[in-house]
Amino acid sequence: MPRPPQDGGEATIRTTCPYCGVGCGVLASPDGRGGVAIKGDPDHPANRGRLCVKGAALGETLSTDGRLLSPRIAGAEASWDTALDLIATRFSGAIAQHGPDAVALYVSGQLLTEDYYVANKLMKGFIGSANIDTNSRLCMASSVAGHRRAFGSDTVPGQYEDLELADVVVLVGSNLAWCHPVLHQRLMAAKSARGTKVIVIDPRRTATCEGADLHLALAPGADGHLFNLLLCHLFDNGRLSADFAPHVTGIDVALAAARHSMPGDTGLSAANLERFLTLWAASEKVVTVYSQGINQSDTGTDKVNAILNCHLATGRIGKPGMGPFSVTGQPNAMGGREVGGLANMLACHLEIENPSHRAAVQGFWASPTMAERPGLKAVDMFRAVKEGRIKALWILHTNPAVTMPDAARVARAIRACDFVAVSDLWATTDTARLAHVQLPATGWGEKDGTVTNSERMISRQRAFLPAPGQARPDWWQVAQVARRMGFSGFDWAGPAEIFAEHAALSGVAGTLGSDFDISDLVDADYDGLAPVIWPQAAQKGGRFFGDGQFHTQGGRGRLVPVTARLPEALTPDHPFRLNTGRVRDQWHTMTRSGMTPRLSQHLAEPYLEIHPGDADRLGLAPATLAEVESPRGRAILRVMISDRVAPGHPFAPMHWTGETAPSGRVDVLVPGLVDAVSGQPASKSAPVSIRPFAARWYGFAVTTGDPRPDCAYWAKAPVAGGVQLELACHSLPDNWSTWATALFGGSAPTTTLSDPSRGLYRFAVVTEGRLRAALFVARDPVLLARGHLAGLIGTQGQGVLAGRPGSNQPDPGITICACLNVGQNTILDAVATKGLVSVDALGAALGAGTNCGSCRPELAALIARHHQRHREAAE
Ligand code: SF4
C-alpha cells in the first residue's frame, strides 16, 4: 500500500481523530519504537491544531497488549480461511433455510466509510435484506428521521463556522463542552471575539453552562413544547419570513399543533422563557445545535422537527451564521448515513422504499437482488435475535451487550443466538466474549479510509502503524465473506477503489435528486485527499437550503405539526427518571480511552449524580453507594450529591462495562422504549428506584495485577504500572488476609495494619523491594490520597499503609486538568491563597487549562464556587 502524504518530518502522518463527530485532524509521528507523538493538525479546518484531552492522549492508547491477534473459533485459534469460510457457510445456510431476513449485521459509527459501504452493499444488494443497522441508531437516528421529514433528505444544512458567525447560539440537549470539546472551544473563542450570546437548554447544569449567557433548566422532555412556543412567538410577533414562505409548506398545521403547548409545560420561569423567545426571535443569525438530549427520546423525531420548524418558518437556514445543526456523537456516524448503513436507508441518501432508487443501485452494483423494505432497527434487531428469528449475526466494532437498552437481555439474546461473529480489536469485550467467531480487526492508526464529520467534511484516516498479528481491515473481512458466499463485485484491492466506487454511485444518486453527490471525487488523489465538505464549496458554499431548494417532492421544505408530550408519569415503584450520558475524558465503552491512566483520573468510576434533596430523603451520604433499580435491571453506583441535577432526575454515565465495573453498567436499567419514527431508544429517561447500598465495607486497592475481585461492587481504572480498584460489599469475608491474598493474585501480604474493632484493614505486598499491591478496607468510604497511592506502585512503597503522603507533600486531589495533571485540591488552594478570579489567571499560576482546554469549564466552575462560598461565609 503506498505511503500516505507526510508533513513536518518523514514520519508524520496526517489523519483524523477516532472519537467524536467533530472530526479533528491529527498529526501522528511514530517514533519507530511503538510510540507515537500526537498533535492537532494546524491545517485541518475542523480544529486548526486544537485537540481535546481525549485526542491529545491518543498516543497512549496504541498498545497492542491484550489485542486479539488471530481469528478464533470457540476460543481456539483458527486461520483466516477457516473463520471466513465458517461465517460464509453459516450465513448462507441460514439464508437458504430461513430466508435473507434470518441474518443481520450490526455495525458501528467507528467504522470507516469504506468498511460501511462494503457491509451495506453485501447486505442490501447481495443478501437481499436490509437487516443492517448501526450503533448510530442509538445516537442520531431521530435527527435523520427529522431531516427526512422536513427536507426530504438526511441533510445537515450547516457548517461549524456558522457557530462562529452567529449572534446567538442555542445548545439544546448538548453538553458540547464535554462531548464535542473542540467545537465548544471554537464557540467560546467566537464569543470572546464578538460577544456571541450562548443559551444552554438542559435540565442538568452541565459544564457547557459555564460559558453560557443563559441556562434554561427545562423540564426533562419538554423540548418539543419549548420550540412549539417559539414557533407561536415568532408568528405572533411577525417574525416569520415572507421571503422564505414560498419555499416551505405546512406553517398553518404546524402552528395549530404548536398552540397546544403551554408555557407551564416547560418548567421555566416566565422571565427566562421570555428572554429565550425574544433573543431567538430578534436574532437573524441564530444557530440551534442539538444532540443526544434531543435525539435519545421516544419523541426525538418530533423534537427535531419542532426545532427545524422554527428555522424553516424564519428562513434561518443554510446561510452563514444560521441554521439548525445536529452534532453527531461518533467519528463516522455521518459516513454511515451516506453509505446507507441504517436499516431504513439505501445508499447515498437514496430511499429503500423507492423502486427507481432501488433499481438504480441494483443496476450500479449489478447485484442479484435488492432489499425491498427497511430492515430491523437496532432494538428490533436484538428482539429478533432473542426470539430466534435471526439465526446468524455479525457484529463489527461495537459492544451492544453493554450499550443497547435492556443490555442484560441483549447479552442473553446474543449468547443464545445460533451463530455470532464479532470483529473487534479485543476478544474480551462483553460482546466479543459471547461470539462463536472472533475476528481480529485493525484499529485506529492501522487502517486506511475516510470519515465524515458533523459538518459533512470528509477526511482521511491514514495508517501510521503496521497491523499487529493477523489483524485485517473490516472492509476486507466483509468482502472476503461476500466472495465466499459466491458474490462478485467484492474484489477491491484497497479502500481507494471502494471510495471511488462509492463516489461513482453517488453520481448516480445525484441524477435521482439525492443531496449526496460526491462524484467529483471519483478520480481524486485518495492518498493525498485533503479534508473536503460536500457538496464542494464552489457549488453551494458548503451549505444547503439557503436557496430555498429542498429535496422533497415539489422542492419545498416541510414544517411538521408537532403535538409535544412529556414523558409518561412515574410510578411510586420507580419514582426517579434516570438521565444517562458521557463524561469528559472517556469514550463509549472505554475500550480505547480506558487504556490511559491520564484519562481515567478525571472520573474513575461509575457514579450517580443526585440532587441533595433526593439524597437527603433517601439517606444517601456522599461517596457511599446507591443501588439503582428499574424493571429491567440493577446497578450499583457511587453517590455524587450535586445541585447540578434537578430533584427526581439523577444522572449516570454510560461508559462502564463487565470488564471495568460489572455493577456499574447503566444500560441494563434503560428500557427498550423507542421513538416510533426513528427507532431511536429513549436512553435518558429510564424510570428507576434508588436506595442506599448496604455496604458492610468499602475498599480501595492498587495492584500490578488485573484481578476480578470477589465482591458486589468493584470498578477498575488504569494507573501507571497497574490498576486501581474501588471495592465494596454487603458481606464480610471470613478472613481479610485470605481475601487480600486472592485479590493480589496469590501473593500474601507482606505488611499488614489492622484494627478489627473499627473494621480497618490495610495490606501491602512488597517483593524485591518494590510495591506490588496494597488494599485499604474500612466500614465507611475510604478516605485516601488515591493519586499518591497509585504513584507508589513499583517504588519501595515507603509509608504506603499510611494511605497519604507526608505532611510536606499535599494531596493534589482528583485530577481536573488531565493534560498537566493538576488536581482539584491544588486548584482550590491556589484560588484561595493567590486570590485568583479567572481561568486565565489560574492557567498562569498552575498551567491548568492551558493545553487542550477541555477542563476550562470545570476550572471556571471551581473558581466560581470557591468565591461564592467565600462570599456566603462573609455575609
Ligand atoms: S473534539 Fe476531541 S474527541 Fe472530538 S474529534 Fe476533536 S480531539 Fe477528537
Q: How far is the C-alpha of 122 from the C-alpha of 141, rounded, in Å?
A: 22
Is the pLDDT reported for residue 572 higher than 90? Answer: yes
Q: How far is the C-alpha of 242 from the C-alpha of 94, rounded, in Å?
A: 57
Find out whether the beta carbon of 54 lies less than 6 Å from any atom of ligand 1.
yes
Q: How far is the C-alpha of 181 from the C-alpha of 176, rounded, in Å?
A: 6
- Find where cell 467467531 sits: 437
Stretch 410-431: mean pLDDT: 97
Ligand 1 centroid distance, CA of 58 (Å): 10
Of residues 120 and 593, more confidence is placed in: 120
Find out whether the beta carbon of 458 lies less than 6 Å from any atom of ligand 1.
no
Q: What is the pLDDT of residues 67-95, one digit of tens each?
A: 999 999 999 999 999 999 999 999 999 99
Q: What is the pLDDT of residues 483-496, one digit of tens each?
A: 999 999 999 999 99
Find out whether the beta carbon of 52 lies less than 6 Å from any atom of ligand 1.
yes
pLDDT of residue 540: 58
Is the pLDDT reported for residue 2 higher than 70? Answer: no
pLDDT of residue 815: 77
827: nearest Cα among 850, 843, 808, 851: 843
Q: What is the pLDDT of residues 297-344, one digit of tens each?
A: 999 999 999 999 999 999 999 999 999 999 998 889 999 999 999 999
Ligand 1 centroid distance, CA of 568 (Å): 36
Q: How far is the C-alpha of 308 from the C-alpha of 325, rounded, in Å?
A: 9
Contact 816, 210 (CB under 8 A): no
Which letter does DSSP use for residue 317 in this model? Answer: S
40 CA closest ligand 1 atom index: 7
Taking the alpha carbons of 147, 156, 496, 360 in that order, is the dihedral positive or negative?
Answer: positive
- Does residue 488 sit in helix, strand or coil? coil
Ligand 1 centroid distance, CA of 19 (Å): 6
What residues are paired with 287 via a beta bridge?
169, 323
Ligand 1 site-directed mutation target among 26, 54, 444, most atoms within 8 Å of CB: 54
pLDDT of residue 133: 96
Is the pLDDT reported for residue 108 higher than 50? Answer: yes
Contact 679, 384 (CB under 8 A): no
The three state secondary structure string of 125-170 is HHHCCCCEEEHHHHCCHHHHHHHHHHHCCCCCCCCCHHHHHCCEEE
Find out whether the beta carbon of 51 lies less than 6 Å from any atom of ligand 1.
yes
Lookup: cell for 548: 430555498
Contact 313, 238 (CB under 8 A): no
782 phi/psi in degrees, rounded to 5? -80, 120
47 CA closest ligand 1 atom index: 6
Ligand 1 centroid distance, CA of 409 (Å): 32
pLDDT band at 4 (very low <50, low <70, confident <90, very high): very low
Q: What is the dihedral of CA 806, 809, 811, 815, to 10 degrees?
A: -140
CA angle 116, 118, 120 (to 5 degrees): 65
Ligand 1 centroid distance, CA of 582 (Å): 14
Taking the alpha carbons of 350, 356, 359, 365 in that order, is the dihedral positive or negative?
Answer: negative
Q: What is the pLDDT of residues 687-721, one digit of tens each?
A: 999 999 999 999 999 999 999 999 999 999 999 99
Ligand 1 centroid distance, CA of 177 (Å): 11
Q: 221: how many CB neighbours lie within 10 A of its CB?
A: 25
Q: How far is the C-alpha of 867 from the C-alpha of 772, rounded, in Å?
A: 42
Stretch 113-123: mean pLDDT: 98
pLDDT band at 859 (very low <50, low <70, confident <90, very high): confident
Find out whether the beta carbon of 17 lies less than 6 Å from any atom of ligand 1.
yes
Element (H, E) at 449: strand 449-452
Element (H, E) at 364: helix 355-365
Ligand 1 centroid distance, CA of 477 (Å): 28
Q: What is the pLDDT of residues 351-391, one digit of tens each?
A: 999 999 999 999 999 999 999 999 999 999 999 999 999 99
pLDDT band at 104 (very low <50, low <70, confident <90, very high): very high
Ligand 1 centroid distance, CA of 587 (Å): 10
Ligand 1, atom 2: nearest CA belongs to which residue? 52
22 CA closest ligand 1 atom index: 5
26 CA closest ligand 1 atom index: 7
Ligand 1 site-directed mutation target among 15, 16, 22, most atoms within 8 Å of CB: 22
Ligand 1 site-directed mutation target among 180, 188, 459, 584, most atoms within 8 Å of CB: 180
Ligand 1 centroid distance, CA of 22 (Å): 6
Strands (E), 4-151: 13-16, 25-30, 36-40, 72-73, 76-77, 103-107, 132-134
55 CA closest ligand 1 atom index: 7
Q: Output Rg (C-alpha) for the chain, integer angstroms.
A: 27
β-strands 449-452, 457-461 pairing: antiparallel
Find out whether the beta carbon of 24 lies less than 6 Å from any atom of ligand 1.
yes
Ligand 1 centroid distance, CA of 493 (Å): 31
Q: How far is the C-alpha of 166 from the C-alpha of 183, rounded, in Å?
A: 14
- Find where cell 491529527 sits: 26
User: Cis link prior to 535 (omega < 30° from 0)?
Assistant: yes
Q: How far is the C-alpha of 735 from the C-alpha of 725, rounded, in Å?
A: 20
Q: How far is the C-alpha of 777 from the C-alpha of 789, rounded, in Å?
A: 14
β-strands 822-823, 634-641 pairing: unpaired
pLDDT of residue 370: 96
Ligand 1, atom 4: nearest CA belongs to which residue? 20
Ligand 1 centroid distance, CA of 578 (Å): 27
Ligand 1 centroid distance, CA of 820 (Å): 18
Stretch 390-411: mean pLDDT: 96
pLDDT band at 541 (very low <50, low <70, confident <90, very high): low
Is the pLDDT reported for residue 841 higher than 60? Answer: yes
Ligand 1 centroid distance, CA of 320 (Å): 24
Q: What is the pLDDT of residues 207-233, one digit of tens each?
A: 999 989 999 999 999 999 999 999 999
Q: How far is the C-alpha of 770 from the C-alpha of 709, rounded, in Å?
A: 22
Is the pLDDT reported for residue 504 higher than 70? Answer: yes
The three state secondary structure string of 698-716 is EEEEEECCCCCCCCCEEEE
605: nearest Cα among 482, 716, 699: 716
Q: What is the pLDDT of residues 132-186, one digit of tens each?
A: 999 999 999 999 999 999 999 999 999 999 999 999 999 999 999 999 999 999 9
Q: How far is the C-alpha of 672 from the C-alpha of 590, rounded, in Å?
A: 23
Find out whether the beta carbon of 19 lies less than 6 Å from any atom of ligand 1.
yes
Ligand 1, atom 6: nearest CA belongs to which residue? 24
57: nearest Cα among 677, 601, 497: 601
Is the pLDDT reported for residue 6 higher than 50? Answer: no
Q: How far is the C-alpha of 156 from the C-alpha of 169, rounded, in Å?
A: 16
Ligand 1 centroid distance, CA of 678 (Å): 27
Ligand 1 centroid distance, CA of 51 (Å): 6
53 CA closest ligand 1 atom index: 2
Lookup: cell for 416: 443464545
Listed in sequence order, the residues at least 6 apart from 245 whose beta carbon sits closer than 8 Å to its beta carbon are 251
Contact 816, 848 (CB under 8 A): yes
Percent of the chain surpassing pLDDT 90: 83
Ligand 1 centroid distance, CA of 324 (Å): 21
784: nearest Cα among 800, 764, 801, 804: 804
Rounded (10°) angle between helices 824-834 and 856-874: 50
Is the pLDDT reported for residue 555 higher than 50? Answer: yes
pLDDT of residue 807: 67
Find out whether the beta carbon of 22 lies less than 6 Å from any atom of ligand 1.
yes
Is the pLDDT reported for residue 18 higher than 70? Answer: yes
- Does residue 855 sit in helix, strand or coil? coil
The structure's pTM equals 0.93
Find out whether the beta carbon of 181 lies less than 6 Å from any atom of ligand 1.
yes
pLDDT of residue 808: 67
Ligand 1 site-directed mutation target among 38, 44, 52, 599, most atoms within 8 Å of CB: 52
Q: What is the pLDDT of residues 766-786, one digit of tens each?
A: 999 999 999 999 999 988 889
Lookup: cell for 299: 419523541
Ligand 1 centroid distance, CA of 717 (Å): 22
User: Residue 590, by phi and psi: left (phi above 0), alpha (psi -120 to 50) or beta?
Assistant: left
β-strands 197-201, 214-216 pairing: parallel
Mean residue pLDDT of the chain comes to 93
Listed in sequence order, the residues at least 6 apart from 682 whose beta carbon sits closer than 8 Å to its beta carbon are 296, 297, 298, 300, 405, 567, 670, 671, 673, 674, 675
Q: How far is the C-alpha of 89 from the C-alpha of 450, rounded, in Å?
A: 31
Stretch 22-43: mean pLDDT: 94
Ligand 1 centroid distance, CA of 773 (Å): 35
Q: What is the dihedral of CA 200, 206, 207, 208, to 10 degrees?
A: -20
Go through 193-205 and write b for each residue having 16 or more CB atoms within 10 A of its CB, e for each that does not: eeebbbbbbbbbb
Find out whether the beta carbon of 18 lies less than 6 Å from any atom of ligand 1.
no
Contact 340, 375 (CB under 8 A): no
- Find where cell 449485521 sits: 105
pLDDT of residue 628: 98
Find out whether the beta carbon of 182 lies less than 6 Å from any atom of ligand 1.
yes
Q: 3: how many CB neighbours lie within 10 A of its CB?
A: 11
Ligand 1 site-directed mutation target among 24, 50, 452, most atoms within 8 Å of CB: 24
Residue 627 one-letter amino acid:
E
Is the pLDDT reported for residue 538 higher than 60? Answer: no
51 CA closest ligand 1 atom index: 7
From 325-334, 400-409, 492-501, the region with the lowest mean pLDDT:
325-334
Residue 50 one-letter amino acid:
R
pLDDT band at 531 (very low <50, low <70, confident <90, very high): very high
Q: What is the pLDDT of residues 242-272, one digit of tens each?
A: 999 999 999 999 999 999 999 999 999 999 9
